[in-house]
Amino acid sequence: MRRKTKKFALEDANNNLEAGMGLKEIARIYGFNGHTGFLEAYKNKSGQTPGRYKRNFRKKMLVENLKESLKDNPDQPIAGLSDGNWYSGLMNRTFKELTGKTLARYKALMRLKKPKLILAKGGEFTEAYKASGYRQRTTFSNQFRKLTGMTAVEYRNKFAVRRMKHLLREGRRPVEATKEFENLSRCYMTLIFKMETGMTPSEYRAQFGLPEMQGEPYGNSPGYRK
């Protein structure tokens, strides 16, 4: 039997479960005599029990907290991530269940975020290595290749060529475009550009019918300094 109280709503019930309220307490809110009626109503609405929802919610919160911790400090050891409510094995299994990645792999990927950004902007290998937090250069190099499928230098060159193409398409001459790459010489840029595209920057630019000189050689594309 139900008393005339608050109308049962699944979203509201889930909020109460997430807040840590007990089943009997939630059942009273909706006027159920005991929690059995609430269990049946909840299962009919959601297709699962309140207990399963609470377990899944705790798993979700664990993963979100782990991601947040690694975002701020990807160098910290995995053993130090447990809050005491999750032992190491269960924590790792839960993370992989919800993300498809092991905690160790995710942690390694997070450590490469800053180095990848540095390299994508044409930064030097040493700068990227130091930003990774790895103590050994070889460890950084091996991890980078393992997780990206290419070396750090190959990664940098890939983005340098991509950016060079953009600059040439917007009208910049090769000699002007190469000035955007402070850590890469003009000869080096020409070399890797030809290796990647099969043509020199000048030959690539000529495909678009651009004259050798333009009134606005630097173009107006956002994201590139004049």
Domain ranges of the chain: 10-47, 52-110, 112-226
What is the per-residue pLDDT for 77?
A: 80
**27 has pLDDT over 90:** no
What is the per-residue pLDDT for 69?
A: 85
Give the pLDDT band of residue 85 (cuts 50, 70, 90): low
Share of the chain above pLDDT 70, in %: 87
Could you tell me which residue, 83 or 172, shows the higher pLDDT? 172
Q: Mean pLDDT lowest for which of 10-14, 163-167, 196-200, 206-210?
A: 206-210
Answer whether 0.85 is exceeded by the pTM: no
112-226 has which CATH code?
Answer: 1.10.10.60
For every residue of the chain, DSSP letters joined together read: -B-S-SPP-HHHHHHHHHTT--HHHHHHHTTBSSHHHHHHHHHHHHSS-HHHHHHHHHHHHHHHHHHHHHHH-TTS-GGGG--SSS-HHHHHHHHHHHHSS-HHHHHHHHHTHHHHHHHHTT--HHHHHHHHT-S-HHHHHHHHHHHHSS-HHHHHHHHHHHHHHHHHHTT--HHHHGGG-TTS-HHHHHHHHHHHHSS-HHHHHHTTT--SS-SSTT---TTS--
Same fold, 52-110 and 112-226: yes
Give the pLDDT band of residue 213 (cuts 50, 70, 90): very low
Give the pLDDT band of residue 146 (cuts 50, 70, 90): very high
Say which CATH architecture domain 52-110 belongs to: Orthogonal Bundle (1.10)
**Mean pLDDT across 7-33:** 86
Tell me the per-residue pLDDT of 93-108, one tens digit each, with 9 for 90 and over.
999 999 999 988 999 9
**188 has pLDDT over 90:** yes
